[in-house]
Amino acid sequence: MVNINLLPPQIKLKIKRNKQVANIFSICLVIVIGVGVLGVIFSSVKATLLEPKLNSLKEQIKEAGINLGTFGELENQALFLNDRAKLASSIEEKRPVWSYIIQDLINSVPQDVQFVSLTADIDKTPNFVLQGNTTSEREIIKFKEKLENSQFFKDVAFKSSSTTASTTSTEKKEESKLSFELEFNLENLSVPSQENKEVK
């Protein structure tokens, strides 16, 4: 059977347009409804999941904060201890360990050398000025070399030496003494590590 559309072309065109408009309207309606549904989903997720979860967490934090309050004193003590430990470490790093430094200095003194005065100052250069007496220039240089090899001292400089006559009290005999002056600087403020010592 053959269907023949006998409607006039104008009506046919109108029907076609109406169908097209209906289709577009449907599509647009679906999109608008989709957007609306999306909004409703967002709202309900926010209201039923996110907000209650956040409120519950805030409540937990509040409770935990109240509990932590009982540790206030303890917390302050711990904080104070760490603060002082940090400050002490930074000061101790810059603090010269004099007992080691002086011990190293006296370990370097030759038998025939006597100290008259020793001035040490970590803020001035040279850090050390040493005046002493000895028997010969050889002893002074020996001392200087020994200090150069020490792990604590550097830049050892021989400044002066002069012979002075002196009388020993026991034998009432005139002997000549050699007065000298050395200047040197501090290489390490603290005790050097084992590795550094081996290198030295």
Cα angle vertex 85, ends 94, 197, to 5°?
Answer: 40
What residues numbered 112-141 form the site for another protein, per CB under 8 A?
115-124
Chosen residue from 7, 11, 15, 54 binding another protein by CB under 8 A: 54
CA distance 76 to 84: 12
Sign of CA dihedral 69, 73, 74, 79: positive
Number of residues that make up the chain: 200
Chosen residue from 64, 136, 166, 167 binding another protein by CB under 8 A: 64
For the window 9-38, what string marks contact with another protein as x by the rule CB under 8 A?
--------x--xx--xx--xx-xx--xx-x
Mark 65-95 as b/e (b = at least 16 C-beta within 10 Å).
eeeeeeeeeeeeeeeeeeeeeeeeeeeeeee
**Residue (8 or 65) nearer to another protein, CB:** 65
What residues numbered 142-171 form the site for another protein, per CB under 8 A?
none
Kindly state the tokens that stand for 95: 């603090």
> Of 4-12, 42-50, 157-165, 166-174, which part binds another protein (CB under 8 A)?
42-50
Strand-pair category, 174-186 with 128-134? antiparallel
Kindly state the tokens that stand for 163: 């012979």
> Of 3-11, 94-102, 151-159, 173-181, which part binds another protein (CB under 8 A)?
94-102
CB of 182 to another protein, least distance (A): 14
Could you tell me which residues come within 8 angstroms of residue 143 by beta carbon, excluding any fewer than 6 positions away? 108, 109, 110, 113, 134, 182
Chosen residue from 46, 138, 197, 200 binding another protein by CB under 8 A: 46
CA distance 197 to 200: 5
Chosen residue from 5, 10, 67, 111 binding another protein by CB under 8 A: 67
CB of 3 to another protein, least distance (A): 26
- The verdict on whether omega for the bond into residue 126 sits within 30 degrees of 0, i.e. cis, is yes
> Of 3-11, 47-55, 136-144, 173-181, which part binds another protein (CB under 8 A)?
47-55
Q: Which residues bind another protein (CB under 8 A)?
A: 17, 20-21, 24-25, 28-29, 31-32, 35-36, 38-39, 42-43, 45-46, 50-51, 53-54, 57-58, 60-61, 64-65, 67-68, 71, 74-75, 77-89, 91-92, 94-99, 102-103, 115-124
